[in-house]
Structure 1
């Protein structure tokens, strides 16, 4: 058994781990080991944005987790891929850049994550990014993460969708990551110079030139090593050999919302009944480990398109070849975008304070994994209820680190979540039937016009919804009985051990999770290094001043609060 000495050991080279590896090695005195189970991310299928469906569905690049039968989804088992490659899930995701609403982070503060409200986290969002259209009170202009709008909505369907939202009485927002999330507008993506801008590209590659960073790939971590209530290192396997690495300062788990709770449990940290049932000695009882699991669901609202402007005409092998060759030679064209170039964030009903429904608009009718393309021209909206009340779990099954944990989200267990998806169906139909879509809108393919009643919508949703691939909150940050880490990201009751990734979110934000995960790692890096946090922001945020009485603000008086 080989042993090595470092100051910090980071487990997982994903959206958070790459950020930490970069920021901690800015101090040349810190010796950092970064462990990743996967390997290189240099595949064209990872780097070319339009190929996003391939790495997500490839065992080489992603853990192909599957849930237990979900009892409220007709016992369907749901696909739960997680990145297993340098860059982690930022190397296999859809590259959509959404921070979440300001109130999402104020909600974290109210849940006991002191210091993580919007005023405090906005500066870290800015620190992380370079926004293609320049910095301001909300956007950064000198960070590692390149963010833009792909092909700037050249397809006319993108702007037609935005106009339809305005026709329906919603607002148009010029930057949903800025002062106003609520409304319809251009969508942002983590793409730079036509290439996927994962945290491996943005953060890790520059850091790998530093002599104080060691990156070990194809390394499966077995457990965190403990001496009493102090983390001293990790045990991992590489190439059939078992190694131990020691951390003089801290071990940091950044293995994601499935991997991090699983590793804690493998190490004897978690709920007593879960550990004992798996035959694992309880080293530290912490009942919240693996609990509070949350995710976003979505379904595809599909329509025929009356004009030959959709991407369905580009899905044959010849056009795919031309798109790929152009991207290889020039890094532009349809190969350089994820195709989600317009979007919407709305509130499902009056009395909802901030948006809880999200639209990704796609000028094609196809599955997220690229299969089952619709015959003929079409377009679709990915729509989901983004503030679920249902909660699930991640539970270790045995002491064997190679055995996947039990995963169950309990999707749609809560009636409020089912109501949210009924709203998704009815509000979407209203939006797409606005005049702006008249020249494009054809027949409704899915759900189908016969799906009208609550019962019919519920049945459709149970069969049609898919994960949006946003597992989170399974090692929640806070101070209550289920909190796993404190507001400093330290595991409660264990010295020298932290968790820094999307598992520590107290609640899931209204949006995709890559951006807030990167923000969490940026802020955590300052906490770990003992640096003064960035100056809080006083930038105002739009809130509809009549949210309690109306579902959409229309063109009425707008307020900044």
Structure 2
């Protein structure tokens, strides 16, 4: 599902902001920029950072959050708050030259990708309270049971098995059941498993999870096409430890159809119920150490530098790219690299910034004669009605961020061209881990009967390619050096070509022939051979914004692990990392739900000493 940067984003800028927490309403929680001491300082107010900060503050501990950004509700108007704009958000533009949004995005650009036509790509990363949860496309689902068993094996601790992690999934979020009246669309009914969600207050967590109140008609036809080639509807949904077949997704949307982020949920709750302090628009430049123990963080607000010291721990939650960067400029990382930049080595950890795993995706597009989210939002005659639906009943196209996704292990016919090495690598994955995710999306139509440009995408979920994050100087103000490593392992190339062919099989399904209009639009039927398909993928694949594992969890620092099962950094004390960078490997599908649960788990570990 490719992004459409256009009319919807322009419209979003003009609409009123729907309320969320702002500094003006909780001034006492925003201390003056001056040196201070706390029990805990959390660096990074993103998905994990605000979750763990809220839980620690609720225990009565003194806690400060350091966040370089501000509040997305005021910094980006409705681009981030209204679900219907999630896929047209210009902040996510995955191209080297992109519209700047410095109040919301770190504006990172990768190195030229040698496996992807030497392209440089803008990699959006939330520079705002809420972090990635403030700019993502809101899909919420969990990994598979055997993924968690593999995690437990790598981490060396059974607390990461499915059964042991499920309580933290339950603790983090509250599910609002589907509103069937507002979802009333043919072929859009489904079943799900309510037993794996918290549904009753007050024990539920503050994060809001729900199903879209409006169903994209084009997506209902994609569900038919995917089922026709073997992906039957998953009757339990994607939150019970199984990722197989197709389902309508749960999304981080509140009952009143507003994005639910870590800022609008955990932070909003903490600002009203705890003494949590927030240093927003404040940059952390270095972790401070005394005799190998983290004792605080050097920060600056508006150019004025000062220190926040800790009585207990520093918790680093700056994300997949900035957490390894901050570790390295603070003296934790590959010794040779640190010494080359005259950075005193606190802990020689060769794995810092290594092991970057970044799933990619690409799409095949054809014209259809069905309305869609994109065509509705692009129609000037519909905009007032759409806005009224949203304002008066929290419904209509603006209330929905997505819809239907599907997962599979590639069928036998798709595997025939795999090399023995690729077949062996795939066989090494857990039996219930899917290899491909299929995502449905759309663009506004092009005329001549094409109401919608249907966009069916495939994501390669388990990349064998590895990238890295490193630094070019000892200064945190110099952007991290990012190499995603896309398609540098030939196994990924073979899997991508097979997935591309599955997209074409779905488009060719007789079950959807009645809504198709004209020939394939993108890449077009001139692209036929495996070689041509691979060239096209290298030139067009983009990230799905799920980069992870740059401070991987494990048991052996010499072998590349950076943190242990409790998220404690090897070789020092008083320092943990809690964000997607500590995942030991790329999770299948969308990691947001797992990051919330992980933060809940580590918060409990800290508070109980376990």
TM-score by length of 2: 0.82
Name the counterpart of 2:291.
Answer: 228
> Would you say the 8 A contact 1:164–1:436 is kept in 2?
yes
Name structure 2 gaps, 5 residues minimum. 1-32, 94-100, 178-191, 413-426
CA-to-aligned-CA distance 1:385-438 (integer Å, 9 cap, x gap)? 101011111101111211001100111111111111111111121122223212
1:400 aligns with 2:475: yes
Q: 2:592 aligns with which of 514, 517, 542?
A: 514
RMSD between aligned alpha carbons?
Answer: 2.2
- Counterparts of 1:445-464 in structure 2, within 5 Å, are 445-464=521-540
Report the Cα distance in structure 1 between the residues aligned to 2:320 and 2:127, rounded to whole angstroms. 13
Decide whether the 8 Å contact of 1:138 with 1:179 is kept in 2. no
Matching residue of 1:148? 210
Alignment partner, residue 164 of structure 1 = 225
SS of the aligned residue for 2:273 comes to coil
Q: Does the CA contact (< 8 Å) of 1:147 and 1:189 recur in 2?
A: yes
CA deviation map 1:273-296 (0-9, x unaligned): 221233322222111111111111
* 1:116 counterpart residue number: 160
Aligned to 1:344, the other structure's residue is in SS state strand
Task: Give 1:223-262 correspondences, 5 Å limit.
Answer: 223-262=286-325
Correspondence for 1:33:
64
Separation of aligned partners in 2, 1:75 and 1:451 = 20
The alignment partner of 1:83 has SS state of: coil
Q: Which string of whole-angstrom CA distances, capped at 9 and with x for unpartnered residues, describes residues 58-94 of structure 1? A: 2210111011001111110122111111101100111
* Per-residue deviation, 1:505: 0.1
Choose between structure 1 and 2: higher helix proportion: 2
Higher deviation after alignment, 158-167 or 39-48 = 158-167
Cα distance between partner residues in 2 of 1:514 and 1:179 = 15
Report deviation, 1:152. 4.9
What whole-Å deviation, never above 9, does each CA across 1:110-144 have from its counterpart, x for those lacking one? 22352212222122112212222397442232232
Alignment match, 2:239: 177
2:458 aligned residue: 383
Residue 467 of structure 1 corresponds to 543
Q: Which residue of 2 aligns with 1:18?
A: 50
2:484 matched to 1:409? yes
User: Residue 357 of structure 1 corresponds to which residue in structure 2?
Assistant: 436
Matches within 5 A, 1:293-442: 293-308=356-371, 311-317=374-380, 319-320=382-383, 322-324=385-387, 326-338=389-401, 340-350=402-412, 353=431, 354-362=433-441, 364-365=442-443, 376-442=451-517
Structure 1 residues 468, 308: closer, same or farther in 2, change over 3 A?
closer
Among 89, 92, 107, the alignment partner of 2:132 is 89
- Identify the range of structure 1 (351-360 vs 180-189) with the bigger mean alpha-carbon deviation: 351-360
CA contact (8 A) 1:310 1:378 kept: no
Change (3 A) 1:85 1:321: farther
Alignment correspondent of 2:121: 78
Count of residue pairs brought into register by the alignment: 523
Q: By how many angstroms is 1:343 displaced?
A: 1.0
By how many angstroms is 1:170 displaced? Answer: 2.6
Partner SS for 2:251: coil
Partners of 2:141 and 2:151 in 1: how far apart? 17
**Given the alignment of the two structures, is residue 187 of structure 1 paired with residue 278 of structure 2, yes or no?**
no
- In structure 2, the residue matched to 1:482 is 560
Structure 1 position 382, deviation (Å)? 2.5
Q: Which runs of 4+ in 1 moved over 3 A?
A: 54-57, 134-137, 306-311, 316-331, 349-352
Partner of 2:279: 216
Q: Structure 1's 38 and 360: CA in aligned 2 closer, same or farther, altered over 3 A?
A: same
Give the drift of 1:376: 4.6
C-alpha deviation, 1:202, in angstroms: 1.4
Give 1:104 shift.
2.0
Q: What is the distance in 1 between the residues matched to 2:397 and 2:372?
A: 13
- Cα distance in 1 for partners of 2:131, 2:208 equals 17
3-state SS of the aligned residue for 1:191?
A: coil
Measured against aligned partners, the alpha-carbon deviations of 1:196-227 in whole angstroms (never above 9, x if no partner) come to 00111111101012342101100000000001
Tell me the equivalent position of 2:9. none
Answer yes or no: is the 8 Å Cα contact 1:302–1:365 preserved in 2.
no
Q: Gaps (5+ residues) in structure 1? A: 368-373, 533-561
TM-score of the superposed pair, with normalisation by structure 1: 0.89
Provide the rounded CA distance (Å) in 2 between the counterparts of 1:179 and 1:406.
Answer: 35
Classify 1:308/1:10 alpha carbon distance in 2 versus 1 (closer, same or farther; 3 Å). closer
C-alpha distance in 2 between matches for 1:468 and 1:252: 27
CA contact (8 A) 2:369 2:450 kept: no
Structure 1 position 325, deviation (Å): 5.5
**For residues 343 and 385 of structure 2, what CA distance do their matches in structure 1 show?**
54
Determine if contact 1:313/1:377 at 8 Å carries over to the other structure. no
Q: Spell out, residue by residue over 1:234-272, the C-alpha distance to the aligned partner (whole angstroms, 9 max, x if none).
A: 000001210101110000000000111011011011001
- Alignment partner of 2:102: what SS? coil
Query: Residue 107 of structure 1 aligns to a residue in which SS?
Result: helix
Q: Return the offset for 1:310.
A: 6.4
Q: Secondary structure at the match of 2:526?
A: coil
CA 1:310–1:250: 2 relative to 1, 3 Å: closer
Counterpart secondary structure, 2:343 = coil
Q: Using the alignment, how far apart are the partners of 1:254 and 1:284 within structure 2?
A: 19
Give the whole-Å Cα distance in 2 for the aligned partners of 1:336 and 1:79: 27
